[in-house]
Chains A and B, each alone.
Chain A
Amino acid sequence: MDLWDYLELAAWAASALFGLFIVIDWIRTDSTYDEEFLTSSREGELEALTEEQHRG
């Protein structure tokens, strides 16, 4: 075992860690919020909002 073998192991471990974070947060987000709310983004809505603010 030299430095590179340890680096390989570290890379596997770090990959798993990042993957784990993403999956845990994904599951938590999906179960906390309503599906309607999560997919409420609409194309062009930001323009509409800004225009509203300018007018108002």
Chain B
Amino acid sequence: MAKAEKIEHVGLARVLGPAHVWALGVGIVLVGEYMGWNFAVGKGGAYAALMACWFAGILYTCVAMIDSEVTSTVAAAGGQYTQAKHIVGPLMAFNVGLYLVFAYTMLEAANAITVGFLVDTVATMSGHQGGVDQRPFIILSIMFLAWLNYRGVLATLTFNLVITAIAFTAVVVLFLTTAGIFGAGPLRHADLLSGQAALPYGWLGVLASMHFGLWFYLGIEGTTQAAEEVRSPARALPFGTLAGVMTLAIAATLTWYVCAGLMPWEYLGQSGVPLFDAARLSGSYGLMVFLGIGTLFATLASANGCINDASRAWFAMGRDRYLPGWFGAVHPKYRTPYRSIIFLVPIALIFALGAPLDQVVTFSILSGLLEYTFMPLNIILFRRKWPLDTIKRGYEHPFHPLPAMVLLGLCGLAFFAVFLGYGTQLVAMIAFYIVVSLWFHFWRYRFVNRGAQFTMPWPKPRGY
């Protein structure tokens, strides 16, 4: 890199390994097991949530396979944004970039809200009268993580690796101590899931819970944002991403099993911190403390990863002049996209302090969903424009185009599920993207150089 500095150049630093990629992917998502997924229980009952969890698992396996193939060839910050730019076209790239920034910034806001809620819960349990003001804790979590991100990516993601591992261990320990492997456990699935509690909304409820079923995994695709900072992207990215999906499928199922065996679905479906509640019900003080810490760490790890990913996407768009070029700056000492990090702090605060949790979660899920709908289009065009023999891929996903078709179908189901509860937001959101697309196409795109934005050393695409 000394050479890079001599020629008056500053770029992001290539310092990360596969474990960091895993920590970035799982770290963002694991919080989903600590809060948010249980709204799926509220939408259709506990069995519906389990089915939604598995369908979402299939959806995300497709996402991870498709994403791994494309990203093992397109290794640049911005991830799916850069993929879209090279494969589908600039307007699609602009939209995808915004999906990324919104999905992650909203998720970051949701995490900060949860930190505030957790502090309040702990304060009340410790006998504090009148509740605490949650705002300073919400602001502190965002400011601290922004500062950490500002100071450099290696420390940020090493921090994430440690706290994610602790949060994951907490889920496993909770399962092992309550599952009854070592004698009679406290779980009561048969009684809690009998009668009306089995499928309270019928099969429509199963569909409806797909909405929050995505929350079990949302954000795992963010691993690609690290592409420009990973030492060997072609190997580390597919490995970290696929290992991440497997970790999450395990964690999601364990979480469901413990929570559904401890809480009536009506309570579970609206709980703010379900795993912490489960630990409280297990009757062990030690477990309760451990899961409380796990909840805090999971939310921090997630917010941390979100700041990392959202700022990379925003930075990449600024660098290409899709957004004002001012955002395309890299900090000469810390080697981070510092202006993008700063800019997104107040945005996250506006939503963390001003909107209710389930709405923020829905905005995040919707942006994610639009992004997953783009992925099948992306891979179909990728294989058509550059068949397998034209560029060498670090990873080739099997059974093409089956995963793309399955993914498209599941996205359709998820859109319907969102429509059932949040139709207005869905339409408002898409109206926003249509308006913003027109703004980009007719105004903003004039500041973008045409040929120069295609930076991959690929041959000319077929059919052009």
Report if A and B touch in the complex (beta carbons < 8 A).
yes
B206 at interface (Cβ–Cβ under 8 A)?
no
CA distance A41 to B326 in the complex (A): 12
Known: A39-B329, A43-B455, A49-B4. Is A11-B140 also a contact (CB below 8 A)? Answer: yes
Residue of A nearest to B133 (CB): A8
Is A25's CB under 8 angstroms from B328's CB? Answer: no
CA distance A29 to B320 in the complex (A): 22
B146 at interface (Cβ–Cβ under 8 A)?
yes
Neighbouring A residues of B136 by C-beta, 8 Å = 8-9, 11-12, 15
Tier of interface size on chain B: 35 or more
Neighbouring A residues of B11 by C-beta, 8 Å = 40-42, 45-46
The interface stretch among B53-61, B75-83, B217-225, B277-285 is B75-83
Neighbouring B residues of A11 by C-beta, 8 Å = 136-137, 139-140
State which of B8, B338, B339, B455 has its C-beta within 8 Å of the C-beta of A42: B455
CA distance A11 to B134 in the complex (A): 10
Chain A residues proximal to chain B, CB less than 8 Å: 2-4, 7-9, 11-12, 14-15, 18-19, 21-23, 25-26, 29, 33, 35-47, 49
State which of B77, B146, B316, B319 has its C-beta within 8 Å of the C-beta of A18: B146
Neighbouring B residues of A4 by C-beta, 8 Å = 123, 126, 128, 132
B1-53 residues at the A interface, CB under 8 angstroms: 3-4, 8-12, 14
State which of B75, B77, B330, B453 has its C-beta within 8 Å of the C-beta of A47: B75
CA distance A10 to B3 in the complex (A): 44
Is B332's CB under 8 angstroms from A37's CB? Answer: yes
Residue of A nearest to B227 (CB): A46
A19 to chain B, nearest CB (A): 5
Q: Mind listing 6 A-B residue pairs with CB under 8 Å?
A: A8-B132, A11-B139, A41-B9, A43-B77, A44-B456, A49-B4
B150 at interface (Cβ–Cβ under 8 A)?
yes
Is B128's CB under 8 angstroms from A22's CB? Answer: no
Residue of B nearest to A53 (CB): B3
Is B143's CB under 8 angstroms from A18's CB? Answer: yes
Is B332's CB under 8 angstroms from A38's CB? Answer: yes
Residue of A nearest to B148 (CB): A18
Residue of A nearest to B131 (CB): A4
Smallest CB-CB A-B distances: 4 pairs: A44-B455, A11-B136, A38-B329, A18-B143
Is B144's CB under 8 angstroms from A40's CB? Answer: no
CA distance A44 to B4 in the complex (A): 13
Is B140's CB under 8 angstroms from A22's CB? Answer: no
B235 at interface (Cβ–Cβ under 8 A)?
no
CA distance A18 to B150 in the complex (A): 10
B325 at interface (Cβ–Cβ under 8 A)?
yes
A17 to chain B, nearest CB (A): 8
Given contacts A43-B453, A44-B455, 6 further A-B pairs with CB under 8 A are A12-B139, A22-B143, A37-B10, A37-B332, A44-B456, A47-B457
State which of A7, A15, A33, A47 has its C-beta within 8 Å of the C-beta of B332: A33
Residue of A nearest to B4 (CB): A49
Most chain B beta carbons < 10 A, residue from A2, A11, A44: A11
Known: A11-B136, A22-B146. Is A29-B332 also a contact (CB below 8 A)? Answer: yes
State which of A22, A26, A33, A41 has its C-beta within 8 Å of the C-beta of B319: A41
CA distance A18 to B123 in the complex (A): 24
Known: A11-B139, A12-B136. Is A43-B9 also a contact (CB below 8 A)? Answer: no
Most chain B beta carbons < 10 A, residue from A25, A36, A37, A46: A46
State which of B75, B137, B328 has its C-beta within 8 Å of the C-beta of A39: B328
